[in-house]
Amino acid sequence: MTTVSRQPGAPAPVAPSGSGTSTGSGAPDPGDRHRLTALQGLAALSLDAMASVAYGPEAIVLVLATAGGHGLGFTLPVTLAIAALLAVLVASYRQVVAAFPDGGGSYAAAKTHLGRRAGLVAAASLVLDYVLNVAVAVTAGVAALTSAFPGLYGDRLWLCLAVLVVVTGVNLRGIVDSARVFIAPTAVFVGAILTLVAVGLFREAPVSTEASAGHASVLADNASTVGALLLLKAFASGCSALTGVEAIANAVPSFRAPRVKRAQHAEVALGALLGVMLIGLSVLISRFGLQPVAGVTVLAQLTDASLGHSWPFYVVQFATMILLALSANTSFGGLPVLMSLLARDNCLPHVFALKADRQVHRHGVLALAVAGAALLVFSGGDTNTLVPLFAIGVFVGFTLCQTGMVVRWRAAGRPAKALLNGFGAVLTGVAAVVVTATKFTEGAWLIVLALPAIVVVFEVVHRAYGRIGENLGLGRVPEPPHRDHSLVIVPVSHLSRLTCEALNAAVSLGDEVRAVTVSHDDPEDRRATEELRRDWELWNPGVDLVELMSPTRTVGRPVAAYVRRVYRYHPGTRVTVLIPEVEPAHVWERLLQNQRGAVLARAVRRETDAVICRLRFRVGARR
C-alpha cells in the first residue's frame, strides 16, 4: 500500500473558502450532515454567552453596591451601555463572517488588516479566553451543584473533571452531535429566563424574598455619590456577559451551506436573545429594588421575586447550573477551528489542521481538554481562583477585531461603518484596560505574562516551519528526478513465511537486496545464527545473508552502523531498510509482541538517512 503524506513545512490543505453549496462534481457536499444549521449553531456555539446572564448583571450590581442604594440606581444605564456595545459587536461580527468565511474571527480580521503580528496577538487572546472559559464554566456549574448538595463539596475537583470528560466525549463525536445534545438545555434556560422577565414585569412587588432571608446584605451604607471611575468599573465587569459573542465568527466552516448566511443568522439571534435577557433582568433589578446579599446570586433573588419560592424557582436554578457547566462547549466549537487556521498559517503544528470523518478537529478538542483539565487541577475546582483571569483576553481580541474592521471600511470608503467599529474598539479597549488594572493583583498578571508567551510560541513554530520549508525548497521547481542504484536491507532472525514475504517485497523495490542478522557472542546465540545460515543455504533465495556482530544485545545500532558503512563506501546508493512485522488478528495480541521492529526503526531513523519501510504481515482472519 502506498501512502502520500505532506512534507514538513508545507501548508496544511484546506477546503475552498466561501459558502459553496456543492462539491466540485456538482453533487451536495456529503460532509454537510456533520455541519450545523443556524439553530444548532446557536446551541453549540452560544452557550458561553447565554450562560453569562447568570453572572453578568450580578457583576454590575456588586460593583455599584459599593456606592450604596444610589449606586444601584445606575444598574439599568450601565446595562443599556453594554447592550449598545453588544449591538456593535454583533453588527461587526456579521461583517467578519461575510469577510472571512473560512473562520478565524478576530484573528483573521487582525491578521488581514493590521498585520501578522497583530493577528497572532488576537489569536493568543482568544486561546487564553477559550481555555479559561472551559475551566470557569465547568467550575461554576459544579459550584451550583455543590451549593444545592453541600455533601459533594469535597469532591468538586473530580466532579469538574467528570463534566469535562463528558463534554469532550460529546465533541469528539462531532459538533452536530454536541449541538443536538445541548439544544434542549439551552431552550429550557432561555425559556426560563424570558418567562422570569415577562412575569416579573407584571409584578408590582416581589412575590417572595425567601431566598435572601437571613443573608447579610453587601450594600454599602456610607456612600452617596457615584463617580465616573466606578461606572467604568461596573461597565467593564458587566462586559463579562459579552464573552462568547465571537465564537460563531470563529467557527463559520462548521455551518452548513450557505455557511455565511447561517452563521450571520445565528449571530443575530444570539445578540437579540442575550440583549433581551440582560436588559430584562436589569429592569427587574431596578423594579424590585434588589440588594445583593452574601451567599445568594442575583439571578436566584430575581427568580424568587418574580416566580416565587416554588418549583419554578428550582427549575431556573437547575437550568442555570446545567447551562453553566455545558457552556464550556462554546470553546470546543470555536478553538479547534481557530487552531486549524493557525496550523494552516504554520503557527501551530499541522496536526491541528486535520479533520476526522465527522468534520471535527479531534487534536484541537483533545488539546483543549488537556489544557482545561490542567487549569482545573491547578485551581482545585475553585471558581474564585479562575474568575480574576477570565474575560481579559476576549476584550483584547474584540479591540483588535474592531480596529481591523475600521481599517477595512476606511479603505473601502465606508466612513459610517468605520465610525461604528471605531466606537466599539474604543469601548472594548477601555474595558480591557480597566479589567486588567482592577484585577491585576488578583491574578490578571498571569494573563499579562501568558499572552506574549503564547505569541512567542506561535513565532517559534512559524520560524521552525520556515527553516524546514527552506531546506525542502518549497516554492522552487526542483531538479528532474533521476534513478540511483537502490539497495534494500532486510533484517531477519529466522526463516518463516514472514521472511519470505519480506524478501518478495524487497526484490520488487530495489536493484539489490541484502538480508542482515544480528548475532551476539553467546553460545546459544551462536548456535541460532549457525542454524539460520545453514537453513538459508538450503533455501537459497538468491539473496546474500550478512551477519552483524554486536557486543551487546541491541539490534538497532548494529543495523544502523551497517547502513552508515554502505553510505561511506557507496555514496550514490539509495538505501531502504525493510522491517517485516506481524500484524496480529486481535488488538490484545499486540501485547505479546517484543516490539523489535519499532526499536529497530527508531535506531535507523535517528542515526541514518535511510528510508524505513515497515511491512505488516497479517496473521489470521479479521472478524
Lowest mean pLDDT among 36-40, 463-467, 529-533: 36-40
> Where a domain ends, among 404, 432, 465?
465
Alpha-carbon dihedral of residues 16, 22, 25, 30, nearest 10 degrees?
Answer: 100
pLDDT in tens, 114-137: 888 999 998 898 888 888 888 888
Q: Give dist(CA 438, CA 516) in Å, integer.
A: 70
244-271 pLDDT, tens digit per residue, is 788 788 778 878 878 888 888 888 988 8
State CA 362 to chain mean position distance: 9
Lowest mean pLDDT among 272-276, 449-453, 551-555, 612-616: 551-555
Average pLDDT over residues 380-388: 64
Residue 381 pLDDT more than 60? yes
Clarify whether residues 425 and 504 are in a common domain. Answer: no
Model confidence at 455, pLDDT cuts 50, 70, 90, reads: very high
Establish if 43 belongs to a structural domain. Answer: yes
Assess contact for 141 and 480: CB atoms under 8 A: no
The answer on 561 and 432 residing in a single domain is no
What is the pLDDT, as a whole number, of residue 359?
64
Rounded to two decimals, what is the model's pTM? 0.72
One-letter amino acid identity for 137?
Answer: A
Q: Residue 19's pLDDT is what?
A: 40
CA pair distance 503, 411, nearest whole angstrom: 66
Q: What is the predicted pLDDT for the residue at 623?
A: 42
Q: Indicate the residue among 433, 465, 497 that finishes a domain.
A: 465
Cell of 355: 479533520
Phi, psi of 520 (to 5 degrees): -120, 155
Eight-class DSSP state of 58: H
273, 275, 285, 307, 490 from 280: Cα distances, Å: 10, 8, 9, 15, 75
Assess whether pLDDT exceeds 90 at residue 461.
yes
Task: Tell me: do 496 and 560 sit in the same domain.
Answer: yes
Q: Domain of 261: which CATH number? A: 1.20.1740.10
Query: Residue 18's pLDDT band (boundaries 50, 70, 90)?
Result: very low
* Same domain, yes or no: 118 and 196: yes
- Whether 377 is in a domain gets the answer yes
Q: Which residue has the cell 475537583?
A: 157
Q: Could you give the CA distance from residue 587 to residue 566 in angstroms, rounded to a whole number?
A: 37
Residues whose CB is less than 8 angstroms from the CB of residue 328 and which lie 6 or more positions away in sequence, other chains included: 47, 48, 133, 134, 137, 138, 163, 164, 167, 372
Q: What count of other Cβ atoms lies within 10 Å of the Cβ of residue 417? A: 17
Instruction: Verify that 515 and 380 share a domain, yes or no.
Output: no
Average predicted confidence (pLDDT) for the chain: 80
C-alpha torsion sign, points 211, 216, 218, 221? positive
Q: Which of 404, 434, 465 is the last residue of a domain?
A: 465
Mean pLDDT along residues 347-356: 84
Please report the pLDDT score of residue 33 as a whole number.
66
Report the 3 state secondary structure along 525-552.
HHHHHHHHHHHHHHHCCCCEEEEEEECC
User: Which pLDDT value is given to residue 385?
Assistant: 61
Beta strands 544-550 and 611-618, pairing class: unpaired
Residues 544, 427, single domain; the answer is no
Radius of gyration (C-alpha) of the chain in whole angstroms = 31
Of the ranges 152-161, 298-307, 560-569, which is most confident? 560-569
**Is the confidence at residue 2, as pLDDT, over 50?**
no
Number of domains in the chain: 2
Length of the chain equals 623
In which band, very low, low, confident or very high, does the pLDDT at 357 lie, cut at 50, 70 and 90?
A: low
Q: Are 416 and 559 in a shared domain?
A: no
234 found inside a domain: yes
What is the full DSSP assignment across 285-308? Answer: HHHTT---BTTB-HHHHHHHHHH-
Quickly tell me which residue has 442555570 as its cell.
320
* Model confidence at 72: pLDDT above 70: yes
Residue 449 to residues 175, 389, 444, 456: CA-CA distances in angstroms?
A: 32, 12, 9, 11
The answer to whether 107 touches 402, Cβ cutoff 8 Å, is no
Q: Give pLDDT tens digits for 472-498.
A: 887 788 888 888 889 999 999 888 888
Longest Cα–Cα distance of the chain, Å, equals 105
Cα 12 from Cα 158, distance rounded (Å): 37
Read off the C-alpha cell for 283: 429592569
Whether 454 and 490 share a structural domain: no
Find the CATH number of the domain harbouring 598: 3.40.50.620
Residue 481 lies in a domain: no
Inter-CA distances, 455 with 314, 371, 391, 450, Å: 45, 17, 18, 9
| CA neighbours closer than 13 Å in the CB half-sphere of residue 17 | 10
Q: What is the pLDDT of residue 14?
A: 39
11 in a structural domain:
no
Query: Does residue 79 belong to any structural domain of this protein?
Result: yes
Residue 249 domain-assigned? Answer: yes
Q: What's 307-376 look like in SS3?
A: HCCCHHHHHHHHHHHHHHHHCCHHHHHHHHHHHHHHHHCCCCCHHHHCCCCCCCCHHHHHHHHHHHHHHH
pLDDT for 291 equals 77
The predicted structure's pLDDT at residue 589: 67
State the pLDDT at residue 487.
Answer: 92
Q: For residue 330, is it within any domain?
A: yes
User: Is the domain of 457 the same as that of 491?
Assistant: no
- 453 and 576 belong to one structural domain: no
Are 305 and 428 within one domain?
yes
Q: How confident is the model at residue 4 (pLDDT cuts 50, 70, 90)?
A: very low
Task: Write out the residue range of the structural domain in which residue 527 sits.
Answer: 486-618
For residue 490, what pLDDT is reported?
Answer: 92
Chain segment 168-216, per-residue pLDDT in tens: 888 787 666 666 777 888 888 888 889 888 988 888 777 777 766 665 5
Q: Are residues 490 and 353 in the same domain?
A: no
Give yes or no for a contact between 218 and 301, defined as CB atoms under 8 angstroms apart: no
**Percent with pLDDT over 70 in the chain:** 85
> To the nearest 10°, the Cα dihedral for 137, 143, 148, 150?
160
Confidence of residue 155 (pLDDT cuts 50, 70, 90): confident
